[in-house]
Structure 1
Amino acid sequence: MKKKLICMVIFITVMSTLLSACGGNKANEATGNAGTSGSATPAGESEKPLELTWLNILHTASPPTDVVKSKIEEYTKSKITFNWVPDASKEERITTALASGELADIVTLTMMTNSSVRSSLKSGLFWDVGAYLDDYDNLKNIPAEVRTAASIEGVLYGVPFQKNLARSGLVIRKDWLDKVGLAVPTTLDELYEVAKAFTEKDPDGNGKQDTTGFGDRSDLRYSSFKLLSSYFGTPNGWKVDESGKFTPEFDTPEYLQTLNYSRNLYENGYLAKDFAVTAKTDQQQQFAQGKTGIYTGMVDIKNLHDLSQGLQEGMELVPVNKISNGDGKYRVWSEGSGVGGLLAFPKSEVKTEEELKRLLQFVNDLIDEEVFMLMTGGIKGTHYEIDADGAFKIIDLEKWQADVQPFASSRPSEVTFSLKDANPEKEMSNQLIKENNDFAVLDPTVPLDSATANEKGTEMAKIITDASFKFIMGELDEAGFKEAVESWKKSGGTQIIAEYEEAYKKAKQ
């Protein structure tokens, strides 16, 4: 795409009413120098808007209206054209776009373990931004460990999405726990008993056995399986011992324990029978409609409650982040070591260093507190308010969902500022997510690279995914699953192991 050369914009905006709600002195430091980075702007150039396209992921049913978008454009002196890709089809759409070269000035890449994505990054398709970040007042604050985790063989191919280290956890119907006379579970055995009671003891009191303990969806990574796996002590992706030997998570005893646990849930009806063909939105609806009582994803607790309005009056929810395997220790898997992906800049669209710098300034400005609030809450007084206790509260849910919600997952940083939520369940969930940092289990391969994994790792992963689903549903026994593991190794897994071990060795030198 042919674009004009646009120079840097200089502006300073401080929203004092928001500082008291979400940042204190840290917020003052972060926003007080907004827009002061980069090269000087020639006279007359500052009024020209930056025209940019953004290939982005849509996590809601519909794209946002222009209400908040226009405010973001006004603040960042830009004109944004979004090309939204539905989350459910992102893998196919993004890999197709990478293969065809039909990209945009900014490309949201969240599938950092996808072989097509990693191959495209390593091929030189995108700019290396590592040397530029320290020139911008917000981007320079991205921690070194986050930059390392977001890099491939030491090269940073985009601005990292900064996420909490580990957001995973359970949401459980507290009112159902009270009905069946059980406490909030703290062990896997207790959790199993909760799932059983939610299925067999009529927790909704309608006189019918029409509820299920675990709702779930067709995604081993973001379903209950990955979380349960970390509770059992399974390594996150890979195990590496003191000698540098790598073992894939699915070749460990703990992974097999998780398979058996999930299989028992499924065979007894405590895990939704249709989980293998259920999408995330359907899983949420099942929970909101009172069909299931355990949901994986603490971060969704408020949305679940909102979805239940008019369907499940009196619903009480409790977020749970500490479940042990009985040894009294807690573990939770970390997605990307605090990295949610990259905002990448393809060289086919961003042809000059000057264009890259202007786009980096745009991303830098998105981290300013004012834009963070626009992308999180919308317009103060229209979409949200800050109450007397300093808590954030949505005023009009329907308007917020239409104008604001789709932008929430596009924030370059979710950790620079924090808001006290007026909803006590959501606030508790937020605090537990922060607590997860204390026992998060990292994936040692995040900053490493394997040529074989890049080439065909995603396709090979289907061998294990299919075998895991079949095992849970009783279509495969332990011997059959172990055969699938051997098939993975013969298909290139052994080479992937060797390449990770070599990359790890080099990184340690």
Structure 2
Amino acid sequence: MSRNYKKLAALMLCSGLVLSACGGGNSNTNSQAQSAKSGTTAEAENVKAKITWLNLLHTASPPTDKVLSKIEEATHAEIEFSWVPDASKEERINTSLASGSLSDIVTLTILDNSSVRNALKAGMFWEVSPYLDEFPNLAAISQDTRNSASIEGKLYGVPFQKAKARNGVIIRKDWLDKLGMAVPKTTAELLEIAKAFTEKDPDSNGKKDTTGFMDRSDLVYGAFKTLGSYFGTPNVWAVDDAGIMTPEFETESYIQTMDYMRASFEGGYINQDFAVTAKNDQQQNFAQGKAGIYVGALFDSKNLLNMSKGIQDNMELVMVNDITSTGNEADRAIWAGTNGIGGLLSFPKSEVKDEKELKRILKFVNDIMNDDVYALMTYGIQDVHYTVDADMAVTIKDTDLWQQEVQPFSSSRPKEVGYKIHDADPLKVEAEKLIEENANYAVLNPAYSLESETNTTQGSELQKIVTDATYKYILGKIDLAGYKSEIEKWEKSGGSMIISEYEAAYKAINP
């Protein structure tokens, strides 16, 4: 009987998600399992810890056991995964929380879900702050990251550490060279490049068929928010020393960003349908040579270049991450998406019975953050799934095999940055370097971990007022007075209450 089949059978027999939650069995066996999990006896130190993990699956099927066995060997643990398809995660996690069908480790990525937040605040999961500094990899988690991942000042799990600030500007270097233009350092220089790419035939085909910016209908992950950083716009919210909160769209820098986008639109330096363009269409259009500036995630450069093969074979790209509106290094800034938090690895008290068990599981989480386990979960087994050169650059040997046996583990890594082993692709290497550099200039959202009941219940509806007003201003359908009128509508419809609630929550943990 295969190992995967045995896992499935056990799950079905126990009518739950977690093997350790099953009742019955020999009491001595249960005692040994508990001892192995907690590591409380000298004998248990020679036995693999038995750890169950309710985890998300971002691929079509779970991985085989080939890589898993290597991870278990490296962490001295026996891991039983209960995989939840990402598409149904909210429903499954809500059901598991309500029924108590949990695991030793529960992956929680939807921290804004009311059921998840209520479960965390209700004390269903261990508060881990007192224990992190006992383990070297966990101790290295910054205080900013811990604060951002906390709820009402308490950290109910190990944060998934994502790259804090992934965005920048990707430009056609071959077009810059053709027009004799330098890589921009300011927003004004970037706009001049956009104008030249629109008006000076950078692809030399004798037609006026190119634009500067190629953007999409997304004020966050498209161009707008990154450009906003260059003008000094706060990341969603700003807070002063007195704890007064100001939404980004009520700042002068937000208006400057709208003016910049409006000038680009009126001059024709941006695709005129950007407000209704999907991401895939944006990338396809860029790859087809219809524009020369892409503002978004820096690691998109590799995909854009790959997409251009056979269409724009002369395409060369340069990535820029140090643009400001003033030209002053001191003003350099870039917004941090979700403050670099991808969720939590949380530990329910119903499964993890005491501090000894908790510490053994925290040790396991610490161990999967080691370089060797990161390599296993990212690239697989050396010389089976990949080869590596003297510079620790990786080349995947068989993409299909990697996707089947390795890729499902990649979303389980508690930390994604700061490792020696890396992708061999030059654009990917450069993107990772710039993204790591971005962290030094990342602007956090001070309200990311705060509670606002009004925002929970009305936030999406109210945000639509702001989004619509922003697009209308950029497209020239309303003037500044009209924009401010819409912001007043936001305040009267519940925005003022959101501000008050966030201020109260901020002051409660920052007295």
Report TM bin, short chain.
Answer: 0.7 to 0.9
Determine the structure 1 residue equivalent to 2:305: 305
Output aligned runs, 1:347-496, within 5 Å. 350=351, 352-353=353-354, 360-396=362-398, 400=402, 404-405=406-407, 407-419=409-421, 421-496=423-498
Determine the structure 2 residue equivalent to 1:217: 216
1:86-142 residue CA offsets vs partner (Å, 9 max, x unmatched): 5xxxxxx55555555578645544455666764554355654333443454533432
Q: Distance in 2 between matches of 1:55 and 1:94?
A: 7
Show structure 1 runs of 5+ residues with no match.
11-36, 87-92
Contact 1:138/1:364 (8 A) holds in 2: yes
Query: 2:303 corresponds to which letter in structure 1?
Result: N
Cα distance change of structure 1 residues 205 and 449 upon mapping to structure 2, 3 Å threshold: same
**1:256 alignment partner, SS class:** helix
1:457-477 residue CA offsets vs partner (Å, 9 max, x unmatched): 344323322332333334443
C-alpha displacement of 1:395: 4.3
Contact 2:168/2:321 (8 A) holds in 1: yes
C-alpha displacement of 1:396: 4.7
C-alpha displacement of 1:147: 1.4
- The TM-score normalised by the length of structure 2 is 0.79
Output aligned runs, 1:232-251, within 5 Å. 232-251=231-250
Determine the structure 2 residue equivalent to 1:14: none
1:340-396 residue CA offsets vs partner (Å, 9 max, x unmatched): 332335678x47458766654553332122221123223322443222444334445
Cα distance change of structure 1 residues 139 and 221 upon mapping to structure 2, 3 Å threshold: same
Determine the structure 2 residue equivalent to 1:185: 184
**2:146 alignment partner, SS class:** helix
Q: Distance in 2 between matches of 1:452 and 1:270?
A: 39
Q: Distance in 1 between matches of 2:498 and 2:386?
A: 49
Determine the structure 1 residue equivalent to 2:195: 196
C-alpha displacement of 1:272: 3.1
Determine the structure 1 residue equivalent to 2:3: none
Determine the structure 1 residue equivalent to 2:19: 3
Contact 1:166/1:437 (8 A) holds in 2: yes
Contact 2:379/2:385 (8 A) holds in 1: yes
Query: 1:377 corresponds to which letter in structure 2?
Result: Y
1:172-193 residue CA offsets vs partner (Å, 9 max, x unmatched): 1211222233211111111112
Farther-moved stretch of structure 1 (233-242 vs 45-54): 45-54
Q: Does 1:159 align with 2:158?
A: yes
1:58-88 residue CA offsets vs partner (Å, 9 max, x unmatched): 3x7x5675365665466553232422325xx
C-alpha displacement of 1:422: 3.5
**1:305 alignment partner, SS class:** helix
Which has the higher Rg, Structure 1 or Structure 2?
A: 2
**1:314 alignment partner, SS class:** coil
Q: Distance in 2 between matches of 1:460 and 1:8?
A: 52
Contact 1:116/1:455 (8 A) holds in 2: no
**2:394 alignment partner, SS class:** strand
**1:169 alignment partner, SS class:** strand
**1:294 alignment partner, SS class:** strand
C-alpha displacement of 1:308: 3.2
Cα distance change of structure 1 residues 97 and 398 upon mapping to structure 2, 3 Å threshold: closer
Cα distance change of structure 1 residues 443 and 100 upon mapping to structure 2, 3 Å threshold: same
Farther-moved stretch of structure 1 (461-470 vs 390-399): 390-399
**2:193 alignment partner, SS class:** helix
Determine the structure 1 residue equivalent to 2:53: 52
Contact 1:38/1:136 (8 A) holds in 2: no
Query: 1:380 corresponds to which letter in structure 2?
Result: Q
**1:138 alignment partner, SS class:** helix
Q: Distance in 1 between matches of 2:115 and 2:465?
A: 17
C-alpha displacement of 1:160: 0.4
Determine the structure 2 residue equivalent to 1:20: none
Q: Distance in 1 between matches of 2:477 and 2:90?
A: 31
- The TM-score normalised by the length of structure 1 is 0.80
C-alpha displacement of 1:45: 9.0
Q: Distance in 2 between matches of 1:64 and 1:279?
A: 30
C-alpha displacement of 1:228: 0.6
Farther-moved stretch of structure 1 (134-143 vs 485-494): 134-143
Contact 1:173/1:294 (8 A) holds in 2: yes
Cα distance change of structure 1 residues 307 and 419 upon mapping to structure 2, 3 Å threshold: farther
C-alpha displacement of 1:255: 0.7
Q: Distance in 1 between matches of 2:491 and 2:115?
A: 20
Contact 1:73/1:79 (8 A) holds in 2: no
Determine the structure 2 residue equivalent to 1:25: none
Contact 1:173/1:316 (8 A) holds in 2: yes
Output aligned runs, 1:164-179, within 5 Å. 164-179=163-178
How many residue pairs end up in the alignment? 473
Cα distance change of structure 1 residues 383 and 45 upon mapping to structure 2, 3 Å threshold: closer
Given candidates 339, 342, 359, the residue that maps to 1:340 is 342
Q: Distance in 1 between matches of 2:401 and 2:176?
A: 33
Cα distance change of structure 1 residues 400 and 205 upon mapping to structure 2, 3 Å threshold: farther
- When the two chains are superposed, the root-mean-square deviation of aligned CA atoms in Å is 3.5
Q: Distance in 1 between matches of 2:35 and 2:415?
A: 22
Q: Distance in 2 between matches of 1:117 and 1:255?
A: 33
Output aligned runs, 1:125-164, within 5 Å. 126-134=125-133, 136-164=135-163
Contact 1:332/1:441 (8 A) holds in 2: yes
1:430-485 residue CA offsets vs partner (Å, 9 max, x unmatched): 22223223322222223443343344334432332233233333444333322332
Cα distance change of structure 1 residues 242 and 3 upon mapping to structure 2, 3 Å threshold: same
